[in-house]
Amino acid sequence: KKVSVIGLGYIGLPTAAVVASRGIEVVGVDVNPMAVDTINQGNIHIVEPDLDIVVRGVVSTGNLRATTQPEPAEAFMIAVPTPFKESNSPDLSYIEAAANAIAPVLDKGNLVILESTSPVGATEKLAAWLKAARPDLTFPQDLGDAADVKIAHCPERVLPGYVLQELVANDRVIGGLSKACSEKAVELYKTFVRGECIITNARTAEMAKLTENSFRDVNIAFANELSMISDKLKINVWELIRLANRHPRVNILNPGPGVGGHCIAVDPWFIVDSCPDEAKIIRQARLTNDSKPHYVIDQVVKAADEFKRPVIACLGLAFKADIDDLRESPALQIVQELASKNVGQIFAVEPNVESIPEQLVYAGVEQMTLEGALERANIIVVLVDHKQFKEADKTQLATKVVIDTRGIIN
Ligand code: SAJ
């Protein structure tokens, strides 16, 4: 048995490594030769706890190998990006490119799985691209269970920071283009998933993934809306939510400085794009969460007006707690905009990175230790609930203005 994983990024690489760790031969394919070289040396080019150890192990046993050129395999797992384009529609060009890359090596009996988060209908498009490239093979959209090639969607659902645990523990939704497609996909996932593999059709599987992330986005938007209402009504939103959550059927999420990351702030737009007239709550949740960084910036600017060039300490740059990923981070956005507004001397505290991004340094932001920042700042802005911040001694905050977007200071 040989499995090929197309796209060796945040999902593809951990998946390839975990499958390989079950003793299966895995060939990882990526268009980036640097990533391929790095992996073949037993190293990794992305950040994820413990992934380096697993990759080093499976590369040294020969179970995982990376290449830029697809080669024949029994199963292909496609884990490429599906960005939401500036033009406000999902960009499936990476899936199309992956289809065209594997088509020449595709054979009778092969299984092709789409793992990338995708708009409803993408798996059918993948099948159409494969069919166009290989008219000599039969496909499930024409022949159902009897087709040469089996195709299924199985969306990834792992939480960054816990990818290795969740890859194995989480249940998987598996949507084949026919029953035989689903069953063959379940067989593959059973080799490394301890959770349940639940069968549905491809469109439902696509929508299930988008629904999960939209559910979270809508619920965070509700919490963010409550935080703005509470500010206006002079209520502590954290106490409010704690109390409301005492009700057996209420479970409100946490407000924050906005929603970052690569999924929750993107995937709901796939639904809005498919059904713009119907997806009203989903769209509004996106707008509410995207507006939250500006609300926080306004709060800081107002607080800074009370001082003559205050020292402002911004705690955290990552997109969420206890990770070092600064991409698509509302915290980073807030610090950057504050710096450009020249409201004071800005210190950034981010214990999970060695140095802060260059664009912040150019904008005059200074990296600072937590102790230094707490001591020297007039205004403290908590942007991420890192454990270092939660555990810090906060006695000296009594004399400071504190804007706490994460509710870690009482
Ligand atoms: N956030 C809040 N308040 C909360 C929870 C989160 O403001 O109560 C913010 C975070 O600070 C962060 C953003 O939301 O900026 C997203 O963080 P997250 O931890 O909710 O999610 P991600 O983006 O790291 O991972 C999500 C997960 N989806 C769900 O929990 C439904 C993960 O399981 C998915 O696999 C992943 O998206 C993905 O790849 O789609």
Q: Do 19 and 162 fall into the same domain? A: yes
Mean pLDDT of 136-144: 98
Distance CA 397, CA 245 (A): 28
What is the whole-number distance in angstroms between the Cα of residue 205 and the centre of ligand 1? Answer: 19
Domain boundary among 141, 165, 195: 195
**Residue 68 in domain:** yes
Residues 50 and 174 in one domain: yes
pLDDT in tens, 20-45: 999 999 999 999 999 999 999 999 99
Confidence of residue 92 (pLDDT cuts 50, 70, 90): very high
Does the residue 177 lie in any domain? yes
pLDDT grade for 164, boundaries at 50, 70 and 90? very high
Confidence label for 87 from pLDDT (cuts 50, 70 and 90): confident
Residue 172, domain member (yes or no): yes
Where are any strands of DSSP class E within 316-389?
345-349, 366-367, 379-382
CA of 131 to the centre of ligand 1 (A): 36
Beta bridge partners of 348: 314, 367
The model's pTM is: 0.94
Whether residue 212 has its Cβ less than 6 Å from ligand 1: yes
Q: Mean pLDDT across the stretch 196-209? A: 98
Cα–Cα distance, 29 to 12 (Å, whole number): 9
User: Are 350 and 284 members of one domain?
Assistant: yes
Residues 123 and 257 in one domain: no
Q: How many domains does the chain have?
A: 2
Same domain, 307 and 373: yes
The closest alpha carbon to 78, from 109, 133, 21, 117, belongs to 117
Q: Measured from the CB, is residue 158 less than 6 Å from ligand 1?
A: yes
Considering the domain architecture, whether residues 240 and 389 belong to the same structural domain is answered as yes
CB 172 within 8 A of CB 189: yes
Query: Residue 46 — pLDDT band, cuts 50, 70, 90?
Result: confident
Calculate the CA 23 to chain-centre distance.
28
Catalytic: 209? Answer: yes
**Cβ proximity of 156 and 162 under 8 Å:** no
Residue range(s) defining the domain that contains residue 310: 235-404
Instruction: For residue 200, tell me if it sits in a domain.
Output: no
Task: Specify the pLDDT at position 71.
Answer: 97
**Domain assignment of residue 225, yes or no:** no
Structure confidence by residue, pLDDT tens digits, 239-263: 999 999 999 999 999 999 999 998 9
- 188 and 241 belong to one structural domain: no
- Determine the average pLDDT of the residues in 265-294: 97
- Cβ of 406 below 6 Å from ligand 1: no
242 and 385 assigned to the same domain: yes
User: CA 91 to CA 119: how far, in whole Å?
Assistant: 10
Confidence check: pLDDT of 91 > 80: yes
Residue 211, domain member (yes or no) = no
Q: In what order do the strands lie in the sheet with 366-367?
A: 366-367, 345-349, 311-315, 379-382, 401-404
Q: What percent of the chain has pLDDT over 70?
A: 100
- Among 154, 181, 197, 263, the one annotated catalytic: 263
Using the CB atoms, write b or e for 234-261: b if 16+ within 10 Å. eeebbebbeeeeeeeeeebbbbbbbbbb
Per-residue pLDDT for 406 more than 90?
Answer: yes
Same domain, 160 and 242: no
Residue 261 CA, ligand 1 centroid: distance in Å: 7
**Tally: H helices and E strands in the chain:** 16, 13
Catalytic residue among 150, 184, 209, 400, which?
209
CB 152 within 8 A of CB 181: yes
Helices in 234-369 by DSSP H: which ranges? 237-244, 267-274, 280-305, 330-341, 358-362
93 falls within a domain: yes
Q: What is the CATH number of the domain that holds 42?
A: 3.40.50.720
- 218 lies in a domain? no
Q: How does the average pLDDT of the chain come out, rounded?
A: 96
- Mutating to test ligand 1, I would choose from 245, 320, 382 the residue with most ligand atoms within 8 A of its C-beta, which is 320
What ipTM describes this predicted complex?
0.97
pLDDT at 326: 93
The residue out of 168, 195, 222 marking a domain boundary is 195
Q: What is the pLDDT of residue 85?
A: 79
**Half-sphere CA count of 8, side-chain side, radius 13 A:** 32
